[in-house]
């Protein structure tokens, strides 16, 4: 993405995305979502509404932007409502980083495939990140809790039925790993 004009001041943003140090120089008004997508080429994070409602742009952040999250790692945020410059020094996980270290599908991703939790796939990255964070907080949710956990994200294809099932399946896969 080219910049508005030569006159607009630019700022260097250094952060770690999916374990890899990255940096880019951007105008102050560059949204974190656009920064990830266009400046860093990580197009898995999608923007569906640009006003923080749909959740497709959800990424997980550790260590910047808010003072009250000491010790909280992988907090889900709406990257379309944040400026990239606020995340200088942060660690961010996007959907691309939700795979296993060897690149195979991670437990949440695998659960979505097992349960047909996605159709067009556009909202999916935001669900995968949201659920990844949620299962850290609550490793064995009830169906009702699973439904509640995803109720900040919009999906127009699935009617959420199989996404709820995917949350439960992901919890199962994760606990098998821990147990096994």
Write the burial class of residue 71 (CB in 10 Å: 0-12 exposed, 13-18 middle, 19+ buried): exposed
d(CA 42, CA 46): 10
When asked if residue 124 is in the footprint of another protein (CB under 8 A), the reply is: yes
Residues in the chain: 180
Tokens of 71: 């010790």
Our CB check for another protein shows the closer of 5 and 67 to be 5
Task: Find the binder of another protein among 5, 9, 101, 102 (CB under 8 A).
Answer: 5
Q: Least distance (Å) from another protein to the CB of residue 48?
A: 5
When asked if residue 119 is in the footprint of another protein (CB under 8 A), the reply is: yes
Q: Least distance (Å) from another protein to the CB of residue 52?
A: 9
Q: How far does Cα 13 stand from its chain's mean position?
A: 19
Task: Find the binder of another protein among 17, 32, 135, 150 (CB under 8 A).
Answer: 150
Q: Of 122, 48, 117, nearest to 81 (Cα)? A: 48
Q: Collapsing DSSP states into helix, strand and coil, what is residue 86?
A: helix
Binding site for another protein (CB under 8 A): 1-7, 27, 29, 37-38, 42-51, 53-54, 56, 94-96, 98-99, 105, 109, 112-114, 116, 118-125, 128, 147-148, 150-165
């Amino acid at each position: 993405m080219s910049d508005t004009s030569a006159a607009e001041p630019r700022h260097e943003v250094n952060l770690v995305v999916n374990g890899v140090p990255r940096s880019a120089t951007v105008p102050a008004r560059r949204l974190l979502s656009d920064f990830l997508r266009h400046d860093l080429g990580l197009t898995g994070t999608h923007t569906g509404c640009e006003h923080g409602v749909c959740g497709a742009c959800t990424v997980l952040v550790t260590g910047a932007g808010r003072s009250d999250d000491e010790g909280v790692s992988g907090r889900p945020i709406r990257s379309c409502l944040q400026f990239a410059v606020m995340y200088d020094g942060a660690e961010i996980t996007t959907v691309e980083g939700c795979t296993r270290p060897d690149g195979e599908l991670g437990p949440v991703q695998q659960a979505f495939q097992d349960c047909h939790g996605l159709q067009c796939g556009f909202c999916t990255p935001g669900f995968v990140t949201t659920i990844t964070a949620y299962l850290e907080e609550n490793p064995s949710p009830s169906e009702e809790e699973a439904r509640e956990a995803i109720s900040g994200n919009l999906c127009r294809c699935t009617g959420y039925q199989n996404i709820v099932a995917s949350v439960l399946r992901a919890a199962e896969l994760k606990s098998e790993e821990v147990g096994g």
